[in-house]
Chains A and B, each alone.
Chain A
Amino acid sequence: MEPPPGVTCGGPWTLGSEIQRVPPPVRKDHMQDAELAALAQAGDREAFGELVRRHAAQARRIARVILGDSEDADDAAQDGFLAALRHIGRFDPSRPFGPWLLKIVANAAADRRRRRKVRHAEPLAPHLATGGDAPDRSADLSALNAALKQALAQLPERQRMAVVLFDAEGYSHREIGEVLGIPEGTVRSDVFHARRTLREALATWEEWRKETS
């Protein structure tokens, strides 16, 4: 039996009253988050796996913003994903998945921090703390990372979250307001204050960079 004109042979065919083209299965990595969430709710583990793959890095960063560098952050991110899976029926598919997930992750991280009752920050890189010799280029990035972490650790948690969600994760002020449960104007204010503090704290590193670039 010949396929209809315009349809190439070699695709999957079924025989019935007439030849019908069977649509190929849609790949999970091409699906929207809302579609994946609906499939995950119906018990599709691959769909949930794709959601985890897409949002893992972001969720881990947000957990680290709240808990600092520790294994606790990954534990909290995992708690967040599992809580999201348990309550995925509450996700509104007309809204973006990212803020909904990050709110759950942030709550999970805050719960862990309350249980831990200990907050620690990585020590400032020695050359930044003491004003000693400038680091060589190979240490440039790690010095910047250390300085940024130290500066972040000095910020109030809400400002930390706001600036990371805005500048690093690319969320809008409105979405950040939903994640943090605060008005949009407060988010703008938090981002402003956080940026100012970060820039002041990193002035030493910037001066060195300008001198060496």
Chain B
Amino acid sequence: MTDMSPFDHRQDAELGRALQRALTAPNDAAFVRRVLAAADQVYGDVAPGQWWTVLTAWARPGLVAAMLVVAAAAFWLGLWVGSRGPGSSMATFTDPLQTESEQLSVPALLVEDGAPTVDVVLAVAMGR
């Protein structure tokens, strides 16, 4: 060991060499070969170019992106519909009936000569 202070912020080269010597295992080359043989298996598991691997990698972000697009579209549609309000001139299937109901009333039906049609009765009822 050296006479360096334990507080010294520099490496103790002599202690370092002794620790390296004590801890270094023999035959690094065999270890490297062993790791690389095992790594082949890992590379085989995630070999690039396999279409299902690529699709799997894309699936999760793709789903998240699609959900975000749908949410944004729904939000925008809600704002657009809301901005038109209930009195907007948006055409609906009940518009002809509402038009009829504005022109007719129950007393008017009672004084009419002929029997009203089903459409007229329905329009009056909806107007109420």
Question: Which A residues are within 8 Å of any B CB, using their own CB?
Answer: 42-43, 45, 48-49, 52-53, 56-57, 60-61, 64-65, 73-74, 77-78, 81-82, 85-86, 141, 144-146, 148-149, 152, 163-164, 166-170, 173, 188, 191-193, 195-196, 198-199, 202, 206
Contacts and interface: CB of A to CB of B under 8 A. Distances in A.
Interface of B: 1, 6-7, 9, 11-13, 15-25, 28, 31-32, 34-36, 38-40, 42-43, 46-48
A53 B35 CA distance: 10
Which of B22, B39, B46 is packed against the most chain A CB atoms within 10 Å? B22
B31 A56 contact: yes
Nearest to A48: B39
Nearest to B20: A168
B11 A60 contact: no
Contact of B1 (A56, A64, A193, A198): A198
A87 to B, nearest CB: 11
A65 B23 contact: yes
Contact of A141 (B19, B21, B23, B38): B21
A146 B21 CA distance: 10
Given A56-B28, A57-B24, A81 B1 contact: no
Contacts of A48: 36, 39
